[in-house]
Amino acid sequence: MHLLTTITSLLCILLASISTAEAQDGQQPLQDSASKPNILFILTDDQDLHMDSLSYMPYLKEHIIDRGLSFNRHYCTVALCCPSRVSMWTGLAAHNTNVTDINPPYGGYPKFVAEGFNEDYLPLWLQEAGYGTYYVGKLYNGQSVSNYDSPHAAGWTGSDFLLDPYTYRYLNATFQRNHDKPVSYERKYVTDVVSDKAHGFLDDALRTREETGQPFFFTVAPTAPHSDVYIRRKNIDGDFDENSNVQSPPIPAERHKHLFEDVVVPRTPNFNPDKPGGASWISRLPKQNQTKVDFNDHFYRSRLRALQAVDEMVDSLVKRLSDAGVLENTYIVYSTDNGYTIGQHRRQPGKQCAFEQDINIPFIIRGPGIPEGASTNIVTTHTDVAPTFLALTGARPPSAFELDGQAIPLNGVETDGRRQEHVNVEMWGIIMSEGKYGSILYPNHTYKALRIEGEAYGYLYVVWCSGEHELYDMKLDPYQLNNLHRSEPAAAVSLRRNTASLAPNSSVPMPEPMSMPDSSSDSSRDDGAGSDVSHTAVASLIHRLDAVLMVLKTCSGRQCTHPWDSLFPNGEVKTLADALDDSYNDFFETKVEKVQYDKCEKGYIAESEGPVWSSHQVFGMNHEIAFE
């Protein structure tokens, strides 16, 4: 049972760093519940890492960033609220939850229930392990005033959920507490209501802890800084079109509405560029005119203002934990469901792409044994979140399924020196932008993407249902302006690495590096590993990336974190660097099928998603596979 091993080894590391006197025998330590840590999980909605939103949250900095560990390379695996949250609460990739959209038939709360997860997901496992579980705010899209009790979301000792169609109404939200009827909060500022409710449950949880020793797991999920959405349809279903809803900038609390008047979206090189970029509908976007840029800067300021009430809530919750004397035995995790974009690649406000702005998101944790004011570059994902909470609490899933992620080492150091360097990003269905000028509603926004980030290289590789492809060299082109897939197949990309020995020879000169203005937020990403620069042909690199994506697109369990083991059961290839050796050229070029779609679909229709990896496609097999 691999998961258990992972958990056990993580707990050992964790406890070793908390107290060297404990857990030396390698056994999973038996903690009585009174010594088990509490967890407070603050989960915002659509918060970016790449437009500096964290810099505008001073309390978050004081209490969590400066006192904890920031994961610079934390990624969601599907950049859309409901599918991302379901992956987080189940520990499964979206292709294994098949909750791939925000509304039925392919997603939303009813699909979560239909797939059986309401009987088998994280809060239930935590209750099994003796935790009191509490939730305030948005759980899933599509949990609505008409379906909230059929059935109620399971697993929460205390809950107060935001319900559609009023989830994103900053000044008229509807909440639904425990098994009570929904209540409308007209003219009340939603984040302040969330904060009041959070304090109420926190008092309950602290009292219970005091009286019975029961630890708590508490999620507070405000909707900020998501846009304000007026959903026109009462019955939300799959017939989504331009008229289904009206989106406007998030509304700040009255006390914050005049802040940041001079602030604009950071003008990174990919902000509203002169040349279009990306693939598919993105490559056809017009440059934004000044009216649109101005409106979108206002949209951006509105997000920063809306986050201020979240920041105040962070402050008050941490103070309450401190006053109760439990802060030192509480892990506080801060994250969001997916990232956000405004203007990069000429896009209107929105998410759902595999660009860095949409998938690389805040993930910060403070708590017992965790380094303070530190950051790490290990690659972690939202499918690791459930395994991490299991590891922290000593809980485990009672069911048969193996989770697709692995517990995050909370000292920020790779456990066995070869933690995953990849993220499998998935998306199905339509895309809709959220600004005033954004009613771009493109039907075929279905793709599979692989984000690889090693010491010496970084790539984003995307295969769209239309047959289009993208490849970005993240070390040379961190703003993703130059799609290498369009260039000559024989062109070369650079790999900086410590050992040049693995580098295939290439007579092709490498493309001129893009000139990038110095950006302090990116300098930390440039680890300068090794001084050797070697070149590899783009085509040869693509065969490798495609093969890993081929495994990942239907992976489950350990295969999702160790895809190279599926291709090389003999264990000789563990990373992309290993795989680049020329001796594998024939294998990658001719023995592994290519990722492709037969048709664009709005959900996960397996028959339309082309060939899948099978166990004959392994290195060292003699027989040929049949390509169609």
Ligand X SMILES: *[C@@H]1O[C@H](CO)[C@@H](O)[C@H](O)[C@H]1NC(C)=O
Q: Which two tokens stand for residue 315?
A: 């402050």
- Among 285, 481, 605, 618, which residue interacts with ligand X (rule: CB under 6 A)? 605
Which 384-443 residues touch ligand X, going by CB under 6 A? 443
* Closest residue by Cα to residue 443 from 461, 466, 424: 466
* Closest residue by Cα to residue 563 from 450, 458, 487, 470: 450
Q: Closest approach of Cβ 492 to ligand X, in Å?
A: 14
SS3 content of the chain, % helix, strand, coil (to 5): 30, 20, 50
Which 106-135 residues touch ligand X, going by CB under 6 A? 106
Q: Closest approach of Cβ 286 to ligand X, in Å?
A: 9
Q: Which residue stretch of 213-221, 355-363, 393-401, 602-610 sits at the interface with ligand X (rule: CB under 6 A)?
A: 602-610
- Among 15, 54, 265, 600, which residue interacts with ligand X (rule: CB under 6 A)? 600
Q: Closest approach of Cβ 184 to ligand X, in Å?
A: 3
Is 328:67 a contact under the CB 8 Å cutoff? no
Q: Does 444 bind ligand X (CB under 6 A)?
A: yes
* Residue ranges with strand state E in 182-254: 183-186, 216-221, 228-231, 245-248
Q: Closest approach of Cβ 270 to ligand X, in Å?
A: 21
Which 454-513 residues touch ligand X, going by CB under 6 A? 505
Cα separation, 588 vs 594, whole angstroms: 10
Of residues 139 and 600, the one with the C-beta less far from ligand X: 600
Q: Which two tokens stand for residue 65?
A: 């960033």
Q: Which two tokens stand for residue 377?
A: 């570059």
- Among 599, 612, 616, 625, which residue interacts with ligand X (rule: CB under 6 A)? 599
Q: Which residue stretch of 152-160, 360-368, 539-547, 604-612 sits at the interface with ligand X (rule: CB under 6 A)?
A: 604-612
Q: Who contacts 588 (Cβ-Cβ below 8 Å, separation ≥6)?
A: 540, 543, 544, 547, 579
Number of Cβ atoms within 10 Å of the Cβ of 291: 10
- Among 168, 604, 613, 619, which residue interacts with ligand X (rule: CB under 6 A)? 604
Of residues 170 and 457, the one with the C-beta less far from ligand X: 170
- Among 20, 243, 290, 507, which residue interacts with ligand X (rule: CB under 6 A)? 290
Cα separation, 483 vs 466, whole angstroms: 16
Q: How far are the Cα atoms of 142, 443, 455, 460 from residue 481, in angstroms, in the given order? A: 36, 24, 21, 12
Q: Which residue stretch of 26-34, 288-296, 370-378, 518-526 sits at the interface with ligand X (rule: CB under 6 A)?
A: 288-296
Number of Cβ atoms within 10 Å of the Cβ of 619: 21
Q: Closest approach of Cβ 173 to ligand X, in Å?
A: 8
Cα separation, 73 vs 53, whole angstroms: 16
Of residues 108 and 222, the one with the C-beta less far from ligand X: 108
Q: How far are the Cα atoms of 201, 307, 381, 383 from residue 74, in angstroms, in the given order? A: 29, 20, 5, 10
Q: Which residue stretch of 15-23, 36-44, 287-295, 400-408 sits at the interface with ligand X (rule: CB under 6 A)?
A: 287-295
Q: Closest approach of Cβ 624 to ligand X, in Å?
A: 25
> Is 81 designated active site?
yes
Contact map string, positions 63 to 102, toward ligand X, x by CB under 6 A:
-----------------------------------x----
Q: Which residue stretch of 72-80, 166-174, 318-326, 370-378 sits at the interface with ligand X (rule: CB under 6 A)?
A: 166-174
Of residues 260 and 437, the one with the C-beta less far from ligand X: 437
- Among 24, 212, 235, 291, which residue interacts with ligand X (rule: CB under 6 A)? 291
Q: Which residue stretch of 38-46, 74-82, 297-305, 600-608 sits at the interface with ligand X (rule: CB under 6 A)?
A: 600-608
Is 332:40 a contact under the CB 8 Å cutoff? yes
Q: Closest approach of Cβ 531 to ligand X, in Å?
A: 19
Of residues 190 and 333, the one with the C-beta less far from ligand X: 190
Is 579:457 a contact under the CB 8 Å cutoff? no
- Beta strands 132-137 and 172-177 are unpaired
Q: Strand pairing partners for 40?
A: 218, 332
Cα separation, 191 vs 305, whole angstroms: 12
| Residue 155: alpha-carbon gap to chain centroid | 23
58 upstream amide cis, omega within 30 of 0 = no
Of residues 50 and 448, the one with the C-beta less far from ligand X: 448
| Residue 19: alpha-carbon gap to chain centroid | 31
DSSP string computed for 10-62: HHHHHHHHH-TTS-TTSSPP---GGGSPEEEEEEESS--STT-GGGG-HHHII
Of residues 146 and 184, the one with the C-beta less far from ligand X: 184
Of residues 188 and 419, the one with the C-beta less far from ligand X: 188
Q: Which two tokens stand for residue 170?
A: 């900053």
Q: Does 606 bind ligand X (CB under 6 A)?
A: yes
Cα separation, 148 vs 376, whole angstroms: 39
Q: Does 536 bind ligand X (CB under 6 A)?
A: no
Helical axes 2-18 vs 385-393, angle rounded to 10°: 60
Contact map string, positions 174 to 193, toward ligand X, x by CB under 6 A:
x---------x-x-------
290: left (phi over 0), alpha (psi -120 to 50) or beta: alpha
- Tell me which residue has tokens 């903690």: 31
Q: Closest approach of Cβ 444 to ligand X, in Å?
A: 4
Q: Does 27 bind ligand X (CB under 6 A)?
A: no
Q: Closest approach of Cβ 521 to ligand X, in Å?
A: 30
Three-class SS state of 332:
strand
Which 569-588 residues touch ligand X, going by CB under 6 A? 582
Which 343-382 residues touch ligand X, going by CB under 6 A? none
Number of residues this chain uses to bind ligand X (CB under 6 A)? 22
Of residues 415 and 585, the one with the C-beta less far from ligand X: 585
Q: Closest approach of Cβ 432 to ligand X, in Å?
A: 14
Of residues 81 and 190, the one with the C-beta less far from ligand X: 190
Active-site residue among 81, 82, 353, 555?
81
Which 187-246 residues touch ligand X, going by CB under 6 A? none
Q: Closest approach of Cβ 605 to ligand X, in Å?
A: 6
Q: Closest approach of Cβ 280 to ligand X, in Å?
A: 8
Sheet order of strands, 330-336 included = 183-186, 172-177, 158-162, 132-137, 216-221, 38-44, 330-336, 363-366, 69-75, 374-381
Cα separation, 216 vs 181, whole angstroms: 25
Of residues 22 and 468, the one with the C-beta less far from ligand X: 468
Of residues 97 and 219, the one with the C-beta less far from ligand X: 97
Instruction: List residues with catalytic annotation.
Output: 81
Q: Which residues bind ligand X (CB under 6 A)?
A: 98, 105-106, 166, 172, 174, 184, 186, 289-292, 443-444, 505, 582, 599-600, 603-606
